[in-house]
Structure 1
């Protein structure tokens, strides 16, 4: 009888221990965009300081939203609103907890080198040949790509939107700048390319790309009750555009590791981080 009781107590202890361990696991979903990589790695290290086991999950934007809605991920700090990922929010707003902005002053649009004679999207009606009739884009399905398709229709432009990735887009931009050629790329702020190159957004008089954006923190339903400490940190988690673009530029250096550049930023901004943890 005594052995049975001890066995039961041992099982209960193991179950309780497993539950407590599970309570310390946080899953962060993100899109592998330069800004999201920075924010996700900073948040990961901050939560690890508090003793949490953190798993980061790279996904396409639609899958990122769905994973938080399904509870497969606990949080994301890469939700661009109201325009870029607005369609996902409209579909899933009743299944996620939108905590609010972690970056303000963000925007999306088309960018050219500062030396370009293109100043407005409308200029491409008559000068498309200067960029070989192309706008260099990123991954299909991204919000800036959907807005780009809408811009092409709204302005009746004789250009083709070229699918790719953040890496292929910035590589094309780098090559064009090196050769002093004209190029139009899909872009967003914050992004490291603004810290490295002299660029300008093309004016968008028709408002195809919307107005100022914010990058928001999303949580799964129930996180506030399950992990109140994590939720409080998420409510306070804020970065500036300058913060992100500085770290993003560091991440582009040869041999750079996002976890190390995030740790460096945390060390240099200890007061800010401590304010999140109070």
Structure 2
């Protein structure tokens, strides 16, 4: 190899190295873990779209909640934007090699809920007569924080209802059916979620202290994310919703379950709230 050719290759290698180290991980696609829950979809797809619109490739990786934290801990995925600090503590305790990009929402709550027309106010009322709700408890997957707390509460109250677990979208349809028919029912509930307002659900008083009543949702990243993706980390750290803002945002997405529909509705919301989005990406 001639000296001239060697010099050319050396310069090319240096330029490639500089390009590869510039920006947020150059052309590497950021992987965002996602659980198929309404709040999770709303935040993770929002993050994907905002990153893409700022020149950072991103993709959604759908899996269950425990796999998300396990893969985040191992660095197999880069982000999860729906971390409930107290609600997911069982996972954060085990999979703790992660970085916190800050809160996206404050004021979360977990509990048991009933429709407003159901004339009871506490879990104790359910225990007195299980026939008033058919001795059935409706919920989502048992590895969800609200279900772990609900099962703990049921044991504390020495109650043994039949637990019907289903995917969140199917649960919502079941609640809609029972509400339209004015049936009494009990379900695991969490705030924020559009179904609270849509179906006029009320939380039941709990004396067992099994439920979290003031939690926060944070944006979590794999270890080293801030250093590897400074631009992405800065943008994501700015994303925050007030209670009213998040309620309205979730209502916009309440019927969106397919990726194309979710992204379309999020883009429409972003277009309608340019000042909010601009503050995030400044």
TM > 0.5 between the two? yes
Counterparts in 2 of 1:85-124, with a 5 A limit?
85-93=88-96, 95-124=97-126
Q: Does the CA contact (< 8 Å) of 1:125 and 1:158 recur in 2?
A: no
Match of 1:140 among 135, 139, 142: 142
- Stretches of structure 2 that go unaligned for 5 or more consecutive residues are none
Q: What is the distance in 1 between the residues matched to 2:26 and 2:120?
A: 53
Q: Does the CA contact (< 8 Å) of 1:194 and 1:245 recur in 2?
A: no
Higher alpha-carbon deviation: 162-171 or 13-22: 13-22
Q: Does the CA contact (< 8 Å) of 1:26 and 1:74 recur in 2?
A: yes
Aligned to 2:84, the other structure's residue is in SS state strand
Q: What is the distance in 2 between the residues matched to 1:126 and 1:14?
A: 72
Q: Does the CA contact (< 8 Å) of 2:25 and 2:228 recur in 1?
A: no
Q: Does the CA contact (< 8 Å) of 2:146 and 2:188 recur in 1?
A: yes
Q: Does the CA contact (< 8 Å) of 2:194 and 2:247 recur in 1?
A: yes
Q: In structure 2, what is the equivalent of residue 56 of structure 1?
A: 60
- TM-score of the superposed pair, with normalisation by structure 2: 0.89
Q: How far does residue 22 in structure 1 lie from its aligned partner after superposition?
A: 4.6
Q: Does the CA contact (< 8 Å) of 1:119 and 1:203 recur in 2?
A: yes
- Stretches of structure 1 that go unaligned for 5 or more consecutive residues are none
Q: Does the CA contact (< 8 Å) of 1:35 and 1:245 recur in 2?
A: no
Q: May I ask how many residue pairs the two structures share in their alignment?
A: 276
List structure 1 segments (4+ residues) > 6 angstroms apart after TM superposition.
none
Q: How far does residue 80 in structure 1 lie from its aligned partner after superposition?
A: 0.9
Q: Does the CA contact (< 8 Å) of 1:114 and 1:198 recur in 2?
A: yes
- TM-score of the superposed pair, with normalisation by structure 1: 0.90
Q: What is the distance in 2 between the residues matched to 1:121 and 1:36?
A: 28
Distance 1:243 1:261, change over 3 A: farther
Distance 1:66 1:23, change over 3 A: farther
Q: How far does residue 164 in structure 1 lie from its aligned partner after superposition?
A: 1.3
Q: How far does residue 158 in structure 1 lie from its aligned partner after superposition?
A: 3.4
